[in-house]
Amino acid sequence: MKKFKTIQHIVTSPFVNMGPIKLRQPLPIQGIENVDPFLLLHHYGPYAISEFNNPFDLGPHPHRGFEPITLLFKGEQFHRDSLGNEMVVKAGGVQWTTAGSGIIHAEAPTKAFVEKGGDLEGIQLWLNLPAKDKMITPHYQHLEEKQIPKVFSEDKKVQLNVIAGHQKNESGLIQTQTEVNVFTVKANEGGKIEIEIPEHHQSLIYLLEGEILVNGLEVLKKGENQMVTFKQDGSTIQFQAKKETILLVLSGKPIREKITQYGPYVMNTQTEVLEAMRDYQQGKMGYLY
Domain locations in the chain?
7-281
Instruction: Compute the distance between CA of residue 195 and CA of residue 262 in angstroms, rounded to an integer.
Output: 35
Q: How confident is the model at residue 58 (pLDDT cuts 50, 70, 90)?
A: confident
Report whether pLDDT(1) > 90: no
Exposure of 111 by Cβ count < 10 A (0-12 exposed, 13-18 middle, 19+ buried)? exposed
Instruction: Compute the distance between CA of residue 43 and CA of residue 287 in angstroms, rounded to an integer.
Output: 28
Q: How confident is the model at residue 2 (pLDDT cuts 50, 70, 90)?
A: confident
Q: How confident is the model at residue 107 (pLDDT cuts 50, 70, 90)?
A: very high
Report whether pLDDT(57) > 90: no
Helix or strand (DSSP H, E) at 8: strand 7-11
Q: Hey, which residues does 238 pair with through a beta bridge?
A: 194
Q: What percent of the chain has pLDDT over 70?
A: 100
Exposure of 109 by Cβ count < 10 A (0-12 exposed, 13-18 middle, 19+ buried)? buried
Quote the pLDDT of residue 18: 87
Q: What is the pTM of this model?
A: 0.97
**Quick one: average pLDDT of 136-153?**
98
**Quick one: average pLDDT of 98-102?**
98
Quote the pLDDT of residue 184: 98
Residues 95/142, Cβ–Cβ less than 8 Å? yes
Q: How confident is the model at residue 247 (pLDDT cuts 50, 70, 90)?
A: very high
Report whether pLDDT(176) > 80: yes
Whole-number mean pLDDT of the chain?
A: 96
Residues 69/105, Cβ–Cβ less than 8 Å? no
What CATH class is the domain 7-281?
Answer: mainly beta
Quote the pLDDT of residue 19: 82
**Quick one: average pLDDT of 8-25?**
94
Report whether pLDDT(213) > 80: yes
